[in-house]
Amino acid sequence: MSRMIMAAGSYAKTPYFFEKTYVNLYSLEELCYCLVENAELLDQEIVSEKLARWLDEQCMLPQLAHALFALVNQKGSPSAYVGTILEYAGLYSTETVNRIETLIKNNAGLNPYEKQKAKADYMLQNKRYMIALERYDELLSQLPEGEKELRGRVLHNMGVVNAKLFLFGHAQENFMEAYQTNGSKESLKQFLAARRLQDSDRDYVNYIAENPDLHELSMQVERMMEQAAEQFDATQEYRMLFTLRVCKEEGSDTAGDVAYYDEIEKLTNLLKDAYRESVSK
């Protein structure tokens, strides 16, 4: 039997804009979900009088708001503030609330640069690629020279973003700079992968021949490419394309060809829409 979750408070007429994730929230339940799913992003900024006032005036939760106002006045910790909200809502188990509080406490030990990277990483993980790039760029401009390890990880993730945007030339530059900065072999491997995706087979083989020290790593890249191809073969999109191709090859009338290309166009448009969404702000 599924567990029934009782809603607390009212549905807000005016939403609360949660800046960490760029979303509007309309209820205590939505707020709790956002806090749990993005706990690694939370810092002292979450201890907010504005949020407490919204819960009081929009969600009609004066008791919870009163407790939060007290924490704001006492300069309470982010973990205590979030824990108070989650415990009041009662949507999650005690173990989950304790885990979230611990995660927030541990992240409090990160330096400001690592926190900025965590925010940019969140945008990358949620396919907000242009925002992620902007945040990585901003972080790079602020990093001291001594932060080579962190700089390399930021550059690597910028390469990941550019690769996901099919900008393999930019991705190569990011991965190589990351490797030159902190010596990460993973960055060097991803550099080769980006080059493999952009270059013709002949140009790529010539490049490896000219750089024999990269031969072993290039073999790892080839295995990685084979695994990616196998994973794509298992997707619904591939199965649909395969079925359509078989129908087209075995069909004898023009109608079969028309249906095939109609479906191809639909799939292409879906992929285009997904791409546009990923680069929009």
174-229 per-position pLDDT tens digit: 999 999 999 999 999 999 999 999 999 999 999 999 999 999 999 999 988 888 77
Lowest mean pLDDT among 62-71, 140-149, 191-200, 228-237: 228-237
CB-count exposure of residue 159 (10 Å: 0-12, 13-18, 19+): buried
pTM: 0.64
**CB-based contacts of 188: which residues, under 8 Å, 6+ apart?**
175, 176, 179, 214, 217
Q: How do residues 6-20 score in pLDDT, each as one tens digit?
A: 457 889 999 999 988
Strands 23-25, 16-18: pairing is antiparallel
Q: Is 158 exposed, middle or buried (0-12, 13-18, 19+ CB in 10 A)?
A: buried
Q: What is the DSSP string of 144-189?
A: -TT-HHHHHHHHHHHHHHHHHTT-HHHHHHHHHHHHHHH--HHHHH
> What are the φ/ψ torsions at residue 127 (nearest 5 degrees)?
65, 25
Q: Determine which of 35-49, 131-145, 174-188 has the lowest per-residue pLDDT on average.
A: 35-49
Question: Cβ(124)–Cβ(157) under 8 Å?
Answer: yes
Q: What is the pLDDT of residues 98-137, one digit of tens each?
A: 989 988 888 877 788 988 898 888 788 878 899 899 999 9
* Residue 280, pLDDT score: 45
